[in-house]
Amino acid sequence: MANSGKIDFVIAWVDGNDPDWRAEKAHYDGSAKMDNSDTPVRYRDWDNLQYWFRGVEKFAPWVNKIYFITWGHLPKWLNTDNPKLVIVNHRDYIPEKYLPTFNSHTIELNMHRIKGLSENFVYFNDDMFLINKVKPEEFFVNDFPCDTYGLNCIYFGHDSAGHFNGSNMEIINTEFKEKHRIIKKNFGKWFSLKNGMRIVLKTFLLYPWEWFPGFHYNHLPSNFKKSTFDEIWEKYEKILDKTCSDQFRKEYHVNQWLMKYWQICKGECMVRSDKIGECFHIKEENFAQLCHVLRNQSRKLVCINDTPRTLDFESKKRQVNECFDLILPEKSSFEK
């Protein structure tokens, strides 16, 4: 069960209210056609990043380093002298030819270039939180990343990530042509009940197809190996380069989920219980459940995903942060 190396956390953050960032973005986006995901919803501030750091310190004190990716701005309250914290500017690791970038895929697809980053790392969006105690073995087991093995159909809809998934699957089905052999080789992982009964059933129903139609994605922190990024960049540099060369997200792009799917197809993941976390795409009908999960810490990981269907934003923000303050009231050493 032991891991031979250290585990780092990586989190990418943008201050959508920074006037300098907004000015630079406005300078470039006038001539760029953005996809529907590039909306103000993606950048408005829930003012709860401090709870991310509090959760890490309280529930994952074993983490080696935290790499905080930023355009250049920092929260005023952040203690940059914390020995576990490494501030990473885009220009510190993203090749110069891709800068400046407002494309989250560029920021994520180049993470393996971060100087000093450990081979095993966990990537968080800034809306993904730890709300209960976690162990290293819930992220990596014997240096294998933990994940969910499950087939799914890709949803193509308004403001969905279906087009990115479609591009990812083009590479997956090019590289991994013998789907049935791949699944049979790791049958115990694909059909483990740890994945959850609904996911196993979907996998069973989609198994007859000769190709991979898509994968289950739970929108929680992703467990990666740097070597996976190196391998895919070496084999599919032209495709990744095309994605990273765009300053804004476009529908034909691939994204970092490609690395997850690649690890799964190679059988280089261990199965983790699907009950470890839950993603809430916030809307009226599930908001009470989100608050219940936060207050009762009934999951270890939670994603609070802002959407255009998130009504009465200021009220929702206040209620969510009241829940966080209930379980994480004390400042962490990452705060001044």
Does any domain span residue 131? yes
Does any domain span residue 193? yes
User: Which band of pLDDT confidence, cut at 50, 70 and 90, is reported for residue 312?
Assistant: confident
Q: Give which of 107, 105, 102 is closest to 27, Cα–Cα.
A: 102
**Integer angstrom CA distances of residue 91 from 60, 74, 141, 207, 245:** 29, 15, 33, 43, 14
Does any domain span residue 117? yes
The two structure tokens encoding residue 141: 């087991």
- Is residue 86 over pLDDT 50? yes
Residue type, 170: E
Q: Which residue segment(s) compose the domain that 13 sits in?
A: 7-327
Note whether 122 and 139 are within 8 A (CB): yes
| Bridging pattern class, strands 144-147 and 120-124 | unpaired
User: Which band of pLDDT confidence, cut at 50, 70 and 90, is reported for residue 36?
Assistant: very low
What is the pTM (predicted TM-score) of this model?
0.94
Does any domain span residue 2? no
Q: 2-11, 46-55, 154-163, 327-336: lowest mean pLDDT where? A: 154-163
| Bridging pattern class, strands 7-13 and 66-70 | parallel
Does any domain span residue 278? yes
Does any domain span residue 335? no
Note whether 50 and 157 are within 8 A (CB): no
Does any domain span residue 235? yes
**pLDDT tens-digit map of 149-204:** 999 999 888 778 889 999 999 999 999 999 999 999 999 999 999 999 999 999 99
pLDDT of residue 160: 80
Domain containing 24 — which CATH number?
3.90.550.10
**pLDDT tens-digit map of 226-247:** 999 999 999 999 999 999 999 9
User: Which band of pLDDT confidence, cut at 50, 70 and 90, is reported for residue 42?
Assistant: low
Question: Residue 49 half-sphere exposure, CB side, CA atoms within 13 Å?
Answer: 20
Does any domain span residue 29? yes
Q: How many domains is the chain partitioned into structurally?
A: 1
**pLDDT tens-digit map of 263-295:** 999 999 999 999 999 999 888 889 999 999 999
